[in-house]
Amino acid sequence: MPCSTPQTPAWLTRDQLPSAPIASVYDWLFNQDSLTRRLTELSDGGFSVTPLREGWQALRDDECAALDVPPGSQGWVREVYLRGNGQPWVFARSVAARQALEGSNLDLQELGSRSLGELLFSDQAFTRGELQVCRYPAAWLPSEASQNDLWARRSCFRRGPLAVLVAEVFLADFWPAASR
């Protein structure tokens, strides 16, 4: 079901932020490289993806706006944990509008425990839009990871009429590992 509650965050670009987070957080939020590759390096090869849920559902209003589709549009939703050495470091939610996805040759149902980011970065036809950040609503996280004020980032990857919106939420267990 679409979420248009007052808790919907304002996704902001780098230039729209009222104040920048500390440098180490800023680097992770606005780095344009593949997050999968960075997490693989940080975990010394101990990177893995744990699918949580995926399937067709109504997209949230903020997702519909980012994908330029009408509110309440159906889309493929994939939620996963990106893990470093077994620890859930990042919660990722990727969405694509049904009509555009069905007209493409991208089958998100076939990813399983593979990283969507790696696929998007390896296909030169995809272009990445500007990164946006917010403090992610706890209600949008899996219950075991639910925490207020976690930093999140998102960007839209486009290939022709297909747009894939990827949001990545940095969980509390990530930051101690990132500061080593």
Domains and CATH numbers, the chain: 21-179 (3.40.1410.10)
Q: What is the pLDDT of residue 6?
A: 40
Distance CA(12)–CA(86), nearest Å, equals 31
Quick: pLDDT tens for 72-125: 999 999 999 999 999 999 999 999 999 899 888 888 888 888 888 888 888 888
Q: What is the pLDDT of residue 5?
A: 46
Q: Which residues are annotated as a binding site?
A: 78, 116, 168
pTM assigned to the model: 0.92
Quick: pLDDT tens for 43-78: 999 999 999 999 999 999 999 999 999 999 999 999
Q: What is the pLDDT of residue 108?
A: 82
Distance CA(151)–CA(148), nearest Å, equals 9
Q: Which residues are annotated as a binding site for substrate?
A: 78, 116, 168
Whether the per-residue pLDDT at 3 is higher than 70: the answer is no
Chain mean position to CA 139: 16
Task: List the structure tokens of 111.
Answer: 């990813």
Distance CA(63)–CA(58), nearest Å, equals 10
